[in-house]
Chain A
Amino acid sequence: EPEVTQTPSHQVTQMGQEVILRCVPISNHLYFYWYRQILGQKVEFLVSFYNNEISEKSEIFDDQFSVERPDGSNFTLKIRSTKLEDSAMYFCAIRTAINYGYTFGSGTRLTVV
């Protein structure tokens, strides 16, 4: 099963600052996702990315969020101006093919103060 590495594991940022969360899948992959989990709550879908473009996004994924694969390997989530309510665990997930299961990274804990 492919591994997914996320960096940093923990990020503390001031409200209004920009943050970039990174995801590095190890093996070949086609589909990329970002999910978030507010403490004690369920895992929520943010955005899916396929063929170098967003294929679907939730209502959480507003203009403050963006994703890209700048070098064909790393997959990043950017939050332009963080708010207190952005504090959560952010998980990257990948799928190798359309009929394969999802593999999640270990997450980045974002704390906005």
Chain B
Amino acid sequence: GENVEQHPSTLSVQEGDSAVIKCTYSDSASNYFPWYKQELGKGPQLIIDIRSNVGEKKDQRIAVTLNKTAKHFSLHITETQPEDSAVYFCAASDAAAGNTPLVFGKGTRLSVIA
């Protein structure tokens, strides 16, 4: 089955700097890669996702890149703000293969220091 590795486990950046979180996956059949932000005591909230037919997607300060050959994808947050502080999870699945569940990485705790 799918295995998703995520690095780093913790990340501290100064406000205004960029943050990059990286994930690798093992199953070449995976074609859907979402990123979730989880704040304390809340459920995961989808912030951006990418499908395997594109290499990059951007939404304001957040971007995701995908390298299918190397089986890795990354989350980039620019101009970080204190409210970006949270745990971020990457995930992967074969979205077209019936009801295949998401497989999550272990998460990255991002701290943005004002």
Contacts and interface: CB of A to CB of B under 8 A. Distances in A.
A1 to B, nearest CB: 8
Given A50-B99, A56-B101, A101-B34, A43 B89 contact: yes
Contact of A98 (B96, B101, B105): B96
B43 A104 contact: yes
Nearest to A104: B43
Contact of B95 (A42, A56, A99, A103): A99
Nearest to B4: A42
B73 interface: no
B106 A41 contact: yes
Interface in B88-114: 89, 91, 95-96, 98-107
Interface of B: 32, 34, 36, 42-46, 49, 89, 91, 95-96, 98-107
Q: Is the interface of A mostly helix, strand, loop or mixed?
A: strand
Interface in A15-73: 31, 33, 35, 41-45, 48, 50, 55-56, 58
A106 B34 contact: no
A65 to B, nearest CB: 15
B104 A42 contact: yes
Contacts of A6: 43
A55 B99 CA distance: 7
B95 A98 contact: yes
Interface residues of A, number: 25
Contacts of B105: 42
A39 to B, nearest CB: 11
29 contacts: A6-B43, A31-B99, A33-B101, A35-B102, A42-B104, A42-B105, A43-B44, A43-B89, A43-B102, A45-B101, A45-B103, A48-B101, A50-B98, A50-B99, A55-B98, A56-B100, A58-B101, A93-B102, A98-B95, A98-B98, A99-B95, A99-B96, A101-B32, A101-B34, A101-B46, A102-B34, A102-B102, A106-B42, A106-B43
A98 B97 CA distance: 8
Given A50-B99, A55-B99, A99-B96, A104 B34 contact: no
A6 B44 CA distance: 13
